[in-house]
Amino acid sequence: MTPSNDTEDRSNEEHSKSEPAALNQATRTGYVALVGRPNAGKSTLLNCLIGEHLSIVTPKAQTTWQRVTGLLTIEQDQLIFLDTPGILETRDLLQRAMLGAALEALQEADVVLLVIDTQRPPTDRDAERILSALKETSAPVLAALNKVDEAPLPVVEAWDSWVESELGAPTYRISALTGEGTDELLGVLRERLPEGPFLYPADEIASDPVRFFVAELVRETIFEQFRQEIPYSVFCQVVEFRESQDPVYIQMNVYVERKSQKGMLIGKNGTAIRALGEVSRQKIETFLGQSVYLDLWVKPLRAWRKNRAYLGDLGFRLPPDDDT
């Protein structure tokens, strides 16, 4: 499924994605898991490679909470990218679900791309978390040393040495923000794909439903407009999506953990919620290519990040061995 109602203009001609594979040439298809510590730039890299704004991106860490699947078909190759939450220390049930999503992607991957933020040197904690997570996969591992356009060269070289000594994996210096080095990286990823038939039509760019991306765009805007604990206490869920109407009618629940947070999201005389709605609506209209009427409802859902039933209702999957 494509994340757009009008898919014809989302083929990203610069990669020739929609061109069918040659009849006499074997196709290659594989899952590429993007993994790494929070704020390493995994979502920015996914968006760069796909050529569309699929994963939300903000300066704040830990904005990816659920796995995002992006599709890129080039000639005879189809890459199924799995953008995952950051490998982090878990403090609540939500974070355990996030870590579980990353580990699950590692188990499914045909190729693992470890994305590293080279703006800060490797620490023992980084090493421990990364090595522990990579035990979940038997797939070949590549390392993308990201943000090299801003990182000090000695730090980049330190990461290069760490990857070589600890993982024995090839490294590629990139900037997901500017695109530097990503063409070479993409070529290597294509070469690592196993032979197999395409799993999705060549012109699709995502397997997640449109509703998922629409809700994520609102959540991204909350991260941009609010501070402190608010963005990390809010989750968005589409409850009605009337795409046959013009403008498209979207009703969305914006869940918070406490009544006081509801007041902050709405703001004095509704100023905050109007600003949130206006920016979110513009993003959604760009994404869908259609006019939108966005109807936001802020609702308290007490301590939803720590409640198994609530997390399940909101679409999160907890690891099967989690007994909390």
44 and 123 in a common domain? yes
Enumerate residue ranges in the chain where pLDDT < 50.
Answer: 1-22, 322-324
Phi and psi based region of residue 156 (left: phi greater than 0; alpha: psi -120 to 50; beta: remaining): alpha
Q: What is the CATH number of the domain that holds 234?
A: 3.30.300.20
- Same domain membership, residue 51 and residue 115: yes
Q: What is the pLDDT of residue 307?
A: 93
Structural domain includes residue 318: no
pLDDT for 61 equals 86
- Does a structural domain hold residue 1? no
Q: Count of domains in the chain?
A: 2
Q: Looking at residue 321, what is its pLDDT?
A: 54
Confidence (pLDDT) at 165: 95
Among 125, 159, 192, identify where a domain stops.
Answer: 192
Q: Tell me whether residue 306 is in a domain.
A: yes
Domain boundary among 161, 192, 223: 192
Q: Which of 192, 223, 247 is the last residue before a domain boundary? A: 192
Assess whether 48 and 179 both reside in one domain.
Answer: yes
Q: Are residues 85 and 188 in the same domain?
A: yes
Domain-located, residue 71: yes
Contact 144, 48 (CB under 8 A): no
The whole-model pTM stands at 0.88
Residue in this structure with the two tokens 């799993």, named with its chain if needed: 199
Are both 239 and 285 inside the same structural domain? yes
Residue 230 lies in a domain: yes
In the chain, alpha helices (H): 42-50, 93-108, 124-134, 153-166, 182-192, 210-225, 259-266, 271-288, 308-313
147 and 63 part of one domain: yes
Position 216 in a domain: yes
Residues 26 and 116 in one domain: yes
| Domain contains 324 | no
**83 lies in the same domain as 144:** yes
Roughly how many angstroms between the first and final C-alpha of the chain, as a whole number?
34
Assess whether 58 and 157 both reside in one domain. Answer: yes
Structural domain boundaries, residue 241: 210-313
Residue 153 falls inside a structural domain: yes
Co-location of 165 and 62 in the same domain: yes
Which amino acid is located at 140 in the chain? P
Q: CA 133, CA 313: separation in Å to the nearest integer? A: 27
- The CATH number of the domain holding residue 182 is 3.40.50.300
Whether residues 255 and 172 share a domain: the answer is no
Same domain flag for 127 and 222: no
